[in-house]
């Protein structure tokens, strides 16, 4: 019984840690499938988290916070688009610039507006996305395994968590069952084919980049408005990069992306759980080693276990009509 | 005569200082196959891109079926019933045939209905034109010939009445090209208009009704194909008389320079590409290797020039063996007098981002004449490049220009000049005139004959049967990695064609 509780506990925190990864990963998927590499997921998430927390604090509303998070994040995505689609700049440089701008400006603006050392004020309950209890969760709590799973694992998450997991089949459907998805995939593989078919390459890529902005905005909101109660400096802590790793790991496909994010989330949750707990045989392990574990495993997995990950063929290359 | 499907009046187009099209007038009658011929850079592709809305003309008028039509984007062209098959296919390689066909013509926001509609439409087109292709196959798994068919189907699916094909046979084997011509003939019979852009004279004569010749951005002539000759067209294209058949004397073969014995080569997948091949090349002769692309010629050349590992066999150069482990130092082979003009000049033969002068010494850059102590002697290199430019008539005559800015023919001359001017005893040449203009072909052929007459041994690999027949003193035919026959240069194209297709001589004789 204790084991089942412990397991559900770890799985539960796996879900919580995975959500921002998953949203960022899907965000990257839209952009990269359209041929625009986006190393700036991290920055957009961070900016979204800050904007969301600031707006939620001022207006005392989670929804207004979400709106601002998405607006700011989409705005930054459009800057990336302007640099790399319209002006055919280097997408990596543009993405890195976005990250720097986000890292610096969130602290400066936070300090200027709230004078709390770059933090935003702690959010009241109405400024956050609270936990949603699924119907019957309490009643089933004592039914062994199934009831425990339902009430302990499926129920009790914030709205954004459910949105994140529903975004997976939705993204799959958009990508493979709609005209927009077909064109999006095509423009990431061979933009010239899209151009000669009479479709605007730039407009299509801008739309993809906007999708990315919306999802990174959601990811930032989740961190600032659901997982935590406000913005703390550098709160994304490299999740944007882990999301990129997950995207490669998943070979740019939505459902594998979800599993990749869950795996990374699980490693993260496990490392938190095992901190300070003596392991059998090895004994007590330094905290730092446990904390490094997800990253070490990331490197090992990416280096050895995914086989050949073929990125969208036109990825990273600005489209120039040939002479 | 039928009404004109397309009329172009006074089309002008400049790219910067380059006037790609000057005052072009052209009339293409409906229901005909119309050839547009000209050297690379004559402005054919630009003109067709204007017609397809990829570029816009600076001035001029386009009339489709007699109606003045503004074509600003490919969409306008598609709406006017114009379809285009580009030289480099505009296909998404990891999409299925169906997905590629509906891309941009999906109709509605969800794919479900458009896909099933496309499937039945495709079946109809298949029956009507004999254009069979598996709708669910991925493009990257299809051979080039079928990929091209998908491009044609794409245009027909969009209701094209006028089909433009830009250099459609450049990537096809002779058999695939013949098949394409049959399809075009059938399209014509169904009342479609076909515009064929090419620089191959043979194709023009074989299939077109009318032919227009372009030279340096202008339209120099339009002829009925039945009333013109290859010689006249070549002259119109180049602007001077061109010798299409090389004049040469009898070969005087000397000692064996290169002896290949029981050579077997596998490719990276472990498939045997060269299977127990043996032959000699003597001083003062050209040995031509004919065959459909992909029958082991490339691997044979690479193994003999020491850049690909051989599984077994020996290659003797002047009686001394060549290292066939794939570890051979090509520099050492060059010193021993073996020069190699690779098939793929863009990736193997040249560094396109380098200056012409740098490419013209690449591989020989450590020869004393190009060095000053440990440094390159830039003055000597420039002077050397300038001499080669004059001798080989490389244009533009500027050794400091980036190699990518030269036309295909001139790039090939850069490679040839580099290899031939080092005076090698053995020259291995792959596809010497692929993508090269008529004028330059004549020049390159003369050079190769001159090499032979100086007593050099030349191994020529080409998929152009005409080239093999007019240059070679002996012709070896390769099929499925084996040499299936040796013939003299007077052998008919038909007989060689059968050998290339793998039909045994005995069967062929029956």
B267 found inside a domain: no
The band of B329, judged by pLDDT with boundaries at 50, 70 and 90, is: confident
**Which residue of A lies nearest to B101 if distances are taken between CA atoms?**
A197
**CA distances (Å), origin B257, targets A135, B286, B454:** 89, 12, 14
The answer to whether residue B505 scores a pLDDT higher than 70 is no
ipTM of the complex: 0.88
B25 found inside a domain: yes
Work out how many domains chain B is built from and give that number.
2
The answer to whether residue B509 scores a pLDDT higher than 50 is no
Q: What does the alpha-carbon distance between residue B425 and residue B200 come to, in Å, rounded to a whole number?
A: 32
Please tell me the predicted confidence (pLDDT) of residue B110. Answer: 92
The boundaries of the domain holding residue B65 are 4-238
Question: Would you call B183 exposed, middle or buried from its count of C-beta atoms within 10 A (0-12, 13-18, 19+)?
Answer: middle
Task: Enumerate the residues of chain B whose CB falls inside 8 A of the CB of residue A188.
Answer: none
Q: Which of B444, B438, B464, B412 is nearest to B38 (CA)?
A: B438
Q: What is the C-alpha end-to-end distance of chain B, expressed in Å?
A: 46
**CA distances (Å), origin A303, targets A293, B73, B385:** 15, 45, 47
Q: What does the alpha-carbon distance between residue B290 and residue B299 come to, in Å, rounded to a whole number?
A: 14
Work out how many domains chain A is built from and give that number.
1
Residue B425 in tokens: 């005893």
Provide the 10 A C-beta neighbour count for residue B250: 6
Does residue B396 have a cis bond before it (omega within 30 degrees)?
A: yes
Tell the residue number behind the tokens 């050349």, with chain if given. Answer: B301
Whether B86 and A185 lie within 8 Å, measured CB to CB: no
Same structural domain for residues B392 and B305? yes
Per residue in B232-249, pLDDT tens?
998 898 888 777 777 888
A177 found inside a domain: yes
B314 found inside a domain: no
Please tell me the predicted confidence (pLDDT) of residue B62. Answer: 95
Pick the range with the lowest mean pLDDT from A87-96, A166-175, B94-103, B161-170: B161-170
Of B238, B253, B271, the one marking the end of a domain is B238
Q: What does the alpha-carbon distance between residue B448 and residue B174 come to, in Å, rounded to a whole number?
A: 24
Please tell me the predicted confidence (pLDDT) of residue B417. Answer: 93
Of A187, A190, A191, A321, which to mutate for an interface test with B (greatest number of B Cβ within 10 Å)? Answer: A190
- Shortest distance between the Cα of A202 and any Cα of chain B, in A, equals 14
Same structural domain for residues B48 and B130? yes
Please tell me the predicted confidence (pLDDT) of residue A299. Answer: 80
- Give me the sheet containing B82-85, strands edge to edge: B82-85, B162-166, B193-198, B33-37, B210-215, B218-224
Of B204, B238, B272, the one marking the end of a domain is B238
- Shortest distance between the Cα of B332 and any Cα of chain A, in A, equals 37
Q: What does the alpha-carbon distance between residue B403 and residue A218 come to, in Å, rounded to a whole number?
A: 50
Whether A179 and B92 lie within 8 Å, measured CB to CB: no
The band of B507, judged by pLDDT with boundaries at 50, 70 and 90, is: very low
Q: Give me the torsion for CA of B486, B431, B165, B88, rounded to 10°.
A: 130
B138, β-bridge pairs: B96
Same structural domain for residues B24 and B141? yes
Whether A179 and B93 lie within 8 Å, measured CB to CB: no
**Which residue of A lies nearest to B105 if distances are taken between CA atoms?**
A197
Q: Which of B305, B274, B308 is nearest to B479 (CA)?
A: B274
Same structural domain for residues B216 and B292? no
Task: Enumerate the residues of chain B whose CB falls inside 8 A of the CB of residue A189.
Answer: 92-95
A293 found inside a domain: no
SS3 B182: helix
Same structural domain for residues B9 and B156? yes
Please tell me the predicted confidence (pLDDT) of residue A201. Answer: 95
Closest Cβ opposite residue A178 in set B95, B105, B109 = B109
Of B223, B238, B253, the one marking the end of a domain is B238
Same structural domain for residues B295 and B210? no
* pLDDT lower than 50: segments of chain A: 323
State the number of CA atoms in the 13 A half-sphere of A107 facing the CB.
Answer: 10
B263 found inside a domain: no
Same structural domain for residues B83 and B228? yes
Whether A189 and B54 lie within 8 Å, measured CB to CB: no
The boundaries of the domain holding residue A102 are 19-250
A268 found inside a domain: no
Contacts of A115 (CB under 8 A, 6+ apart): none
DSSP 8-state assignment for residue B245: S
Provide the 10 A C-beta neighbour count for residue A259: 16
A99 found inside a domain: yes
Q: What does the alpha-carbon distance between residue B429 and residue B431 come to, in Å, rounded to a whole number?
A: 7
What pTM does this model have? Answer: 0.80
Contact between B425 and B280 under an 8 Å Cβ cutoff? The reply is no
The secondary structure of chain B in percent helix, strand, coil, rounded to multiples of 5, reads 35, 25, 35
- Shortest distance between the Cα of A194 and any Cα of chain B, in A, equals 7
Q: Which of B385, B337, B341, B345 is nearest to B361 (CA)?
A: B385
E runs forming strands in chain A = 131-132, 157-158
Q: What does the alpha-carbon distance between residue A64 and residue A89 come to, in Å, rounded to a whole number?
A: 34
Contact with chain A for residue B108, Cβ under 8 A: yes
Task: Find the helix packing angle between A201-221 and A41-59, rounded to 10°.
Answer: 60
B100 found inside a domain: yes
Task: Enumerate the residues of chain A whose CB falls inside 8 A of the CB of residue B109.
Answer: 178-180
The answer to whether residue B171 scores a pLDDT higher than 80 is no
B380 found inside a domain: yes
Same structural domain for residues B458 and B332? yes
Residue B153 in tokens: 């189907």
A302 found inside a domain: no
Tell the residue number behind the tokens 């119309």, with chain if given. Answer: B34
**Which residue of B lies nearest to A187 if distances are taken between CA atoms?**
B92
- Shortest distance between the Cα of A192 and any Cα of chain B, in A, equals 6
Q: Which of A214, A251, A238, A262 is nearest to A39 (CA)?
A: A238
Contact between A42 and A244 under an 8 Å Cβ cutoff? The reply is no
Task: Enumerate the residues of chain B whose CB falls inside 8 A of the CB of residue A198.
Answer: 73-75, 78, 104
The band of B510, judged by pLDDT with boundaries at 50, 70 and 90, is: very low
A322 found inside a domain: no
Pick the range with the lowest mean pLDDT from B25-34, B174-183, B207-216: B174-183
The band of B40, judged by pLDDT with boundaries at 50, 70 and 90, is: confident
Same structural domain for residues B139 and B287? no
Whether B90 and A185 lie within 8 Å, measured CB to CB: no
Contact with chain A for residue B72, Cβ under 8 A: no
**CA distances (Å), origin B497, targets B177, B465, B493, B509:** 13, 9, 6, 13
Q: What does the alpha-carbon distance between residue B104 and residue B489 come to, in Å, rounded to a whole number?
A: 50
Same structural domain for residues B399 and B295? yes
B30 found inside a domain: yes
Q: Which of residues 167-226 of B touch A (CB under 8 A)?
A: none
Whether B78 and A198 lie within 8 Å, measured CB to CB: yes
The answer to whether residue B172 scores a pLDDT higher than 90 is no
**CA distances (Å), origin B215, targets B6, B21, B237:** 20, 10, 6
The per-residue pLDDT of chain B, averaged, comes to 89
CATH classification of the domain holding B192: 3.40.50.300
DSSP 8-state assignment for residue A279: B
Q: What does the alpha-carbon distance between residue B499 and residue B508 come to, in Å, rounded to a whole number?
A: 8
Q: Are strands B371-372 and B18-29 parallel, antiparallel or unpaired?
A: unpaired
The distance from CA A229 to its chain's CA centroid, rounded to whole angstroms, is 18
Same structural domain for residues B190 and B334? no
Same structural domain for residues B217 and B286? no
């Amino acid at each position: 019984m204790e084991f089942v509780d412990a397991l559900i506990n770890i799985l539960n925190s796996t879900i919580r840690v995975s959500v921002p990864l998953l949203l960022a990963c899907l965000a990257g998927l839209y952009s990269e499938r359209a041929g625009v590499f986006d190393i700036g997921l991290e920055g957009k998430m961070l900016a979204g988290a800050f904007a969301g927390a600031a707006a939620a604090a001022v207006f005392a509303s989670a929804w207004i916070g979400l709106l601002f998070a998405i607006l700011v994040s989409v705005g930054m995505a459009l800057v990336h688009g302007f640099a790399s689609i319209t002006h055919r700049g280097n997408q990596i440089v543009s993405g890195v610039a976005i990250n720097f701008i986000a890292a610096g400006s969130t602290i400066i603006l936070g300090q200027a507006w709230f004078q709390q050392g770059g933090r935003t004020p702690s959010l009241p309950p109405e400024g956050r996305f609270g936990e949603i209890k699924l119907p019957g969760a309490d009643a089933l709590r004592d039914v062994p395994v199934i009831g425990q799973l339902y009430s302990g694992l499926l129920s009790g998450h914030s709205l954004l968590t459910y949105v994140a997991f529903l975004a997976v089949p939705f993204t799959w459907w958009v990508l493979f069952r709609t005209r927009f998805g077909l064109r999006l995939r095509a423009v990431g593989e061979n933009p010239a084919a899209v151009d000669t078919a009479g479709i605007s390459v730039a407009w299509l890529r801008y739309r993809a980049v906007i999708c990315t902005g919306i999802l990174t905005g959601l990811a930032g909101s989740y961190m600032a408005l659901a997982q935590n109660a406000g913005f703390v400096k550098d709160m994304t802590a490299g999740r944007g990069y882990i999301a990129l790793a997950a995207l490669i790991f998943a070979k740019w496909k939505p459902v594998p992306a979800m599993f990749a994010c869950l795996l990374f989330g699980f490693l993260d949750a496990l490392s938190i759980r095992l901190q300070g707990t003596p392991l059998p045989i090895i004994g007590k392990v330094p905290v730092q080693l446990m904390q490094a574990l997800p990253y070490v495993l990331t490197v090992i997995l990416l280096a050895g276990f995914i086989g050949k990950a073929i990125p969208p063929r036109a990825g990273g290359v600005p489209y120039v009509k040939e002479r | 005569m039928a009404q004109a499907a397309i009329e172009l009046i006074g089309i002008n187009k400049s790219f910067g200082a380059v006037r790609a099209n000057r005052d072009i007038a052209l009339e293409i009658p409906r229901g005909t196959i119309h050839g547009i011929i000209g050297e690379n850079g004559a402005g054919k592709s630009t003109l067709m891109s204007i017609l397809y809305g990829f570029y816009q003309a600076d001035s001029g008028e386009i009339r489709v079926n007699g109606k003045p039509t503004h074509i600003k984007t490919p969409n306008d062209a598609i709406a006017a019933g114009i379809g285009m098959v580009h030289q480099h296919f505009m296909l998404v390689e990891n999409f299925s045939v169906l997905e590629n066909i509906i891309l941009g013509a999906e109709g509605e926001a969800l794919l479900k209905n458009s896909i099933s509609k496309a499937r039945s439409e495709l079946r109809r087109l298949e029956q009507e034109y004999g254009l069979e292709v598996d709708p669910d196959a991925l493009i990257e798994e299809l051979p080039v010939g079928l990929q091209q068919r998908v491009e044609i189907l794409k245009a027909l699916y969009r209701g094209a009445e006028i089909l433009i094909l830009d250099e459609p046979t450049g990537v096809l084997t002779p058999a695939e090209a013949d098949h394409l011509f049959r399809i075009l003939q059938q399209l014509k019979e169904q009342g479609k208009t076909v515009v064929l852009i090419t620089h191959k004279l043979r194709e023009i004569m074989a299939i077109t009704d009318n032919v227009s010749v372009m030279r340096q951005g202008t339209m120099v002539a339009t002829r009925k194909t039945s009333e013109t000759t290859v010689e006249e067209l070549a002259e119109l294209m180049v602007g001077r008389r061109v010798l299409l058949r090389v004049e040469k004397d009898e070969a005087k073969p000397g000692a064996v320079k290169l002896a290949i014995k029981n050579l077997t080569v596998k490719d990276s997948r472990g498939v045997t590409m060269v299977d127990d091949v043996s032959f000699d090349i003597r001083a003062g002769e050209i040995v031509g290797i004919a065959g459909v692309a992909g029958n082991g010629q490339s691997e044979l050349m690479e193994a003999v020039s020491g850049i690909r590992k051989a599984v077994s066999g020996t290659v003797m150069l002047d009686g001394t063996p060549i290292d066939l482990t794939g570890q051979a130092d090509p520099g050492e082979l060059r010193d021993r007098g073996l020069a190699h003009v690779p098939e793929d000049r863009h990736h193997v033969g040249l560094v396109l981002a380098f200056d012409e002068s740098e490419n013209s010494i690449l591989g020989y850059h450590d020869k004393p004449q190009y060095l000053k102590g440990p440094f390159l002697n830039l003055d000597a290199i420039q002077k050397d490049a300038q001499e080669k430019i004059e001798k080989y008539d490389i244009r533009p005559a500027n050794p400091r220009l980036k190699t990518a800015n030269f036309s295909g023919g001139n790039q090939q001359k850069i490679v040839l000049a580099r290899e031939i001017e080092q005076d090698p005893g053995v020259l291995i040449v792959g596809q010497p005139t692929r993508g090269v203009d008529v004028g330059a072909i004549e020049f390159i052929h003369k050079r190769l004959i001159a090499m032979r007459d100086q007593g050099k041994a030349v191994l020529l690999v080409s998929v152009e049967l005409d080239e093999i027949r007019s240059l070679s003193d002996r012709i070896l035919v390769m099929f499925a990695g084996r040499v299936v026959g040796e013939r003299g240069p007077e052998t008919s194209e038909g007989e060689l064609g059968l050998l290339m297709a793998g039909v045994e001589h005995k069967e062929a004789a029956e």
